[in-house]
Amino acid sequence: MVADNLAAHQIGGFQASFSNGHFCRRCLIGYPERNLPRSTTKLAARTSIIHDDFVQQISANPNKSRLMGVAGQSPLHDLIDFHSTMSLPADLMHDYLEGIRPLVIMS
């Protein structure tokens, strides 16, 4: 599977906005913490267990539209060996070329 971040978020059941809330599908970083040095922040990984708990909470309460960046169950959830937290690809352009690569080159 190949996808940019927006497509991966939509098919994975994550929020489709990257300018607020919890925008990362790999960890639980919030938008206010995005520019803090990683050495000063403790980021929790977004595990399948935590993610499934968020999905259950959203399903149980129809008034919740999002919870910690989760918008709902992925339509691919019933596929064998698929999980939104582990099966979706990274976005090569946004995550690597515009994300980590400039930081590596500058250092």
- For 27, phi then psi, to 5°, come to -145, 180
Amino acid at 43: L
**Which residues have a Cβ under 8 Å from the Cβ of 69 and sit 6 or more positions away?**
14, 15, 21, 22, 23, 24, 25, 28, 46
* Residuewise pLDDT in 10s, the chain (107 residues): 788 889 999 999 999 998 899 999 989 999 898 888 877 878 899 999 999 999 999 999 978 889 999 999 999 999 999 999 999 988 776 666 666 666 666 66
Q: Which helix (H) or strand (E) holds 53?
A: helix 48-60
Please tell me the distance from the alpha carbon of residue 8 to that of residue 1, in angstroms, as a whole number: 9
Q: How many domains does the chain have?
A: 1
Count of CB atoms situated within 10 Å of the CB of 41: 11
Task: Give me the domain span that covers residue 68.
Answer: 5-106
